[in-house]
Amino acid sequence: MILAGAFSGALIGLVLASILTNQIWLAIGTAFAAVLVALIVRRVLLRSALQLYPPPDVDLLHVVVAALIGGLAGHELAVDLREPPLSPLIGATSGLLASVLMATFAVTTYRTSKTFHH
């Protein structure tokens, strides 16, 4: 999930750079898209015998929070790394941080649902 989030964030950052001129909206947009790509990759990869049962519930609130926090933090990190930051750098850092947060939400949801069922 994390590698998919970083890579897709960089690619989406390149694409959205021509549409969005505000770097903060670029960061949030790439983080949101990267979270969705990371969730799709998780779903595809975990269809094997190793799939978590029951699969963690992913709420829209988790996606929105991961995209907002990951996007804003990714933008600030990109600004700290290079001034002015390049759009792929903003996308990669935002996507990376947002997908890490989304993976954390998924694991936490799975662990708490497992705890309450036993």
**Amino acid residing at 91:** G
Contacts of 38 (CB under 8 A, 6+ apart): 1, 2, 4, 5, 8, 95, 98, 99, 102, 103
What per-residue confidence (pLDDT) applies to 53? 44
Mean of pLDDT over the chain = 84
Q: Name which residue leads in pLDDT, 53 or 11.
A: 11
Report pTM.
0.83
**Residue 10's pLDDT band (boundaries 50, 70, 90)?**
very high
